[in-house]
Amino acid sequence: MTVFIIRRLLQALLVVFMMSVIVFFGVNIVGDPVYMLVSPDADQADIEAAISRLGLDRPIWEQYGLFLKGAAQGDLGNSFIFGEPALKLILHHMPATMELAFSALFLAIVIGIPLGLYAGLYPDGRLSKGIMAASIFGFSLPTFWVGLMLIMLFAVELQWVPATGRGDLGSFLGIQSSLFTLDGLSHIFLPALNLALLKISLAIRLTRAGVREAMGLDYVKYARAKGLSTRRIIFVHVMKNILIPVVTVMGLEFGSLIGFSVVTETIFAWPGMGKLLIDAILQLDRPVVVAYLMIIVLFFVLINLIVDILYSILDPRVRLQDQGA
Amino acid sequence: MSDVTAESTLAADPPTKVETPFQRFRAEFFESKIATVALGVFLIIVLLAVLAPWITPQNPYDLAQVSVMDGRLPPGSEAFDGYTMWLGSDGSGRDLYSAILYGLRISLTVGLASGVIALLIGMAIGLVAAYAGGRIEAIIMRIVDLQLSFPASLVALMMVAALGKGVDKIILALVIAQWAYYARTVRATALVERGKEYVEAAQCLGISRFRIVFRHILPNCMAPLIVVGTVQTASAISLEATLSFLGVGLPQTEPSIGVLIANGFEYMLSGRYWISVFPGLALLLTVVSINLVGDHLRDVLNPRLKK
């Protein structure tokens, strides 16, 4: 077990290192940020001063070396635009993204599982067919377009909730979040729903498949024979067996929620990391782009590592030995 | 006894027409009404996009034909030049119907080009992995697994962040985001095929490895490749639209459907819905019709579902 974890850790390190090379060199080859930062009537001396202030006059491998050295000490460089450490900027925007992702995950579970349960119990019903058709749309519609439609319907036409921004923050147990104020909740509803749609479809499909499989198993037949009410069989016995895998898979989708939040945050002007990334790309703010990408890579590598270890603990059939490589 | 019955049923059967696999496939495909309609819709979309210069009232990117006077007209308005703008016009006075058809040309080109290139690259890598085996296979599959642990949209986003804007760069980003799906599919199928007798027979005949892989194994891997290809192409089109909408995909000079939707977004909050909604519907029809065709192809081409 220890050997397995150490080996996976080393692999994870290698991946992060490789990604740092790709990301750093990729990002630093594109465009010239200097012309966006100095005023248009700056003379040659100003431009050169800016270049040397940003460290852009050094050879690129030297820049990379400095970046690596800084990264090892938790310093991913300063934002060209804000002049603040890029890491600090990202950490500052992280709570908003986390809040959005958690809300989306919550919505996916409370909406998706009951619908999937219904579709699994009555697979031939008209409503079930409707639910399954809707879940196909949930998978194939582009997120950003659904977001636009949500804004148009709920914010422009019906004017139930505001279209953009984060709203008031409330404080609870020392955590600042818009989930604790009514204004904040009304702001988070649409973006969270938008981000959740894909995962709602996933939850519906997983739950439905689980319920259909479980209903034919012996323990359900036995419970019936014992005279338990259908309600008790479903909500106590069946749910207990299918909820664990469904919730586990949904939890694993958390990383992809953070990835997808880039789109949702941009549409709803949600001040999270994703919007920061898009703004940074548009303004050629390289350090922020590099820092965001490195953090996302680190995040995914960590999630994958945890998943691998969890699986090997939960399912003894998954071999701990490295498979070939 | 059993022999006799077998013979008699054989004799009783009318002489069956010899059906080529393609004819059987075609018959099965058109059994599904939804898939037939979806294929029809997709072909119409492609046709409209190809014929765009001849069937639209204006070339939306020829400045001489666009008048700012026509800006933000609602659907059904009459344009300055006399024709009716059935879908309205956008902020700079382009007829949306024309803009959508021209946009579809770009969206479809990018989607199909990246789909085909990713397919070819993924296919080659997958075949090499399956046929070479050993260390090479292990390394390739490790990279594939690694990449598939990131969502394709995130990989594409990272690539455009690193590469910048432009048609060629978007296609490259989409290829990098998608090749692994093809490689995994081809390798899985090719592994099964490699163990079959016909490959052994070919080896015994002394046919070169290259020929075995490309002439004998590859044709038998086509079915799952086609299915993955349709679904991935749809997702490439939708990814390109997403990136362009975010402003990190195609530049304003290459106005794909995603760019059109992004342009309309600013007018949306003031109630001018049509500038974003109609391009969005065009994108939706394209992506959903390809997906429905792909879904049905999977059913038709999957030998396990055959009775």
pLDDT for A196-219, tens place per residue?
Answer: 988 999 899 889 888 888 888 888
Nearest 10 degrees: Cα torsion A31, A37, A38, A44? -30
ipTM for the predicted complex comes to: 0.77
- Other Cβ atoms less than 10 A from the Cβ of B304: the count is 4
In the structure encoding, which two tokens stand for residue A258, read together?
A: 């953070």
DSSP designation for A39: -
Interface of B with A (CB under 8 A): 137-139, 141-142, 146, 149-151, 153-154, 157-164, 234, 238, 241-242, 245-248, 261, 265, 268-269, 271, 273, 276-277, 280, 283-284, 287-288, 291
Q: What is the pLDDT of residues B166-181, one digit of tens each?
A: 888 899 999 998 999 9
A266 within 8 A of A64, measured Cβ to Cβ: no
Over range A141-166, report the average pLDDT: 80
CA A9 vs CA A5, A319, B155, B214: distances in Å:
6, 17, 22, 38
In the structure encoding, which two tokens stand for residue A200, read together?
A: 């709602």
Q: What is the pLDDT of residues A224-270, one digit of tens each?
A: 888 888 888 888 888 887 887 787 777 778 888 887 888 888 888 88
Q: Name the minimum distance, in Å, from the CA of A151 to any CA of chain B.
A: 8
Distance of alpha carbon B58 from alpha carbon B66, whole angstroms: 8
Phi, psi of A170 (to 5 degrees): -115, 160
At residue A237, the pLDDT reads: 83
At residue B13, the pLDDT reads: 54
Q: Do B248 and A278 touch (CB under 8 A)?
A: yes
Residues of A in contact with B35 (CB under 8 A): none
Q: Do A282 and B154 touch (CB under 8 A)?
A: no
At residue A180, the pLDDT reads: 66
**Band of the pLDDT at B233, cuts 50, 70, 90?**
very high
Q: Name the minimum distance, in Å, from the CA of B249 to any CA of chain A.
A: 11
Rg (Cα) of chain B, in Å, rounded? 25
Q: What is the pLDDT of residues B26-54, one digit of tens each?
A: 888 788 788 888 899 999 999 988 887 88
Within 8 A by CB and 6+ apart from A56, the residues are A33, A34, A63
Q: Which of A65-79, A281-295, B36-50 is the least confident region?
A: A65-79
Q: Do A151 and B247 touch (CB under 8 A)?
A: no
Q: What is the pLDDT of residues A116-146, one digit of tens each?
A: 989 888 888 888 888 888 887 887 788 888 8
Residue whose C-alpha is closest to residue B145's, from A205, A291, A322:
A322
Query: Which helix (H) or strand (E) is A250 found in, with range?
Result: helix A239-252
Interface of A with B (CB under 8 A): 15, 22-23, 26-27, 29-31, 136-137, 140-145, 148-149, 151-152, 155-156, 163, 256, 259-260, 262-263, 266-267, 277-278, 281-282, 289, 293, 296, 300, 304, 324-325
Residue whose C-alpha is closest to residue A163's, from A277, A267, A272, A273:
A267
- Other Cβ atoms less than 10 A from the Cβ of A90: the count is 23
3-state secondary structure of B152: helix
* Superfamily (CATH H level) for B54-59+72-305: MetI-like (1.10.3720.10)
Residues of B in contact with A267 (CB under 8 A): 265
Which residue of B137, B157, B287 is in closest CB contact with A262? Answer: B157
- Amino acid present at B286: T
In the structure encoding, which two tokens stand for residue A94, read together?
A: 């992280």
- Beta bridge partners, A177, equal A170
Distance of alpha carbon A133 from alpha carbon A257, whole angstroms: 23
Q: Name the minimum distance, in Å, from the CA of A223 to any CA of chain B.
A: 33
At residue B2, the pLDDT reads: 46
Q: Is A91 or A304 the better-scoring residue by pLDDT?
A: A91
CA B132 vs CA A105, B121, B123, B128, B139: distances in Å:
42, 16, 14, 6, 11
Q: Name the minimum distance, in Å, from the CA of A257 to any CA of chain B.
A: 10
Residues of B in contact with A152 (CB under 8 A): 268, 273, 277
Residues of A in contact with B149 (CB under 8 A): 300, 304
Q: What is the pLDDT of residues B57-68, one digit of tens each?
A: 777 777 666 666
The DSSP-derived string for A158-169 is S--S-SSS----
Distance of alpha carbon B64 from alpha carbon B83, whole angstroms: 16
Query: Chains A and B: how many Cβ contacts under 8 Å?
Result: 108
Q: Name the minimum distance, in Å, from the CA of B55 to any CA of chain A.
A: 27
Over range B133-152, report the average pLDDT: 84
Residue from B157, B238, B275, B289 whose CB has the most chain A CBs within 10 Å, to mutate: B157
The DSSP-derived string for B237-263 is HHHHHHHHHHTSSS-TTS--HHHHHHH
At residue B122, the pLDDT reads: 93
Which residue of A148, A155, A278 is in closest CB contact with B247? Answer: A278
Residue from A281, A293, A301, A303 whose CB has the most chain B CBs within 10 Å, to mutate: A281
- Beta bridge partners, A171, equal A176
Residue from B155, B245, B287 whose CB has the most chain A CBs within 10 Å, to mutate: B245
Q: Is the dihedral of CA B228, B229, B235, B236 positive or negative?
A: positive
Q: Do A142 and B283 touch (CB under 8 A)?
A: yes
Distance of alpha carbon B17 from alpha carbon B21, whole angstroms: 12
At residue B71, the pLDDT reads: 65
Residue whose C-alpha is closest to residue B111's, from B244, B271, B207, B273:
B244
- Beta bridge partners, A175, equal A172
Chain A residue with minimum CA distance to B155: A259
The DSSP-derived string for A272-284 is SHHHHHHHHHHTT
Q: Do A140 and B280 touch (CB under 8 A)?
A: no
Task: Kindly give the pairing relationship between strand A175-177 and strand A170-172.
Answer: antiparallel
3-state secondary structure of B136: helix
Chain A residue with minimum CA distance to B135: A325
At residue A13, the pLDDT reads: 84
**Is the pLDDT assigned to residue B151 strictly greater than 70?**
yes
Q: Which of A187-191, A297-301, B68-72, B240-244 is the least confident region?
A: B68-72
In the structure encoding, which two tokens stand for residue B134, read together?
A: 């050993």
B233 within 8 A of B177, measured Cβ to Cβ: no
Q: Which residue spans within chain A are E strands per DSSP?
A: 170-172, 175-177
Q: Do A263 and B246 touch (CB under 8 A)?
A: yes
Q: Which residue has the tokens 């923050």?
A: A169
Find the helix packing angle between B274-301 and B222-246, rounded to 10°. Answer: 170
Distance of alpha carbon A59 from alpha carbon A50, whole angstroms: 16
Chain B residue with minimum CA distance to A25: B162
Q: Do A281 and B271 touch (CB under 8 A)?
A: no
3-state secondary structure of B69: helix
Within 8 A by CB and 6+ apart from A299, the residues are A255, A258
Residues of A in contact with B144 (CB under 8 A): none
In the structure encoding, which two tokens stand for residue A22, read together?
A: 């790709």
Residues of A in contact with B280 (CB under 8 A): 145, 148-149
Phi, psi of B46 (to 5 degrees): -60, -45
Give me the percent of chain A exceeding a pLDDT of 90: 2
**Band of the pLDDT at B55, cuts 50, 70, 90?**
confident
pTM of the shown model: 0.81
Q: Which residue has the tokens 């635009």?
A: A81
Locate all alpha helices (DSSP H) within A178-238, ordered by sequence.
Answer: 182-215, 218-225, 230-232
What are the sequence ranges of the domains in chain B?
54-59+72-305
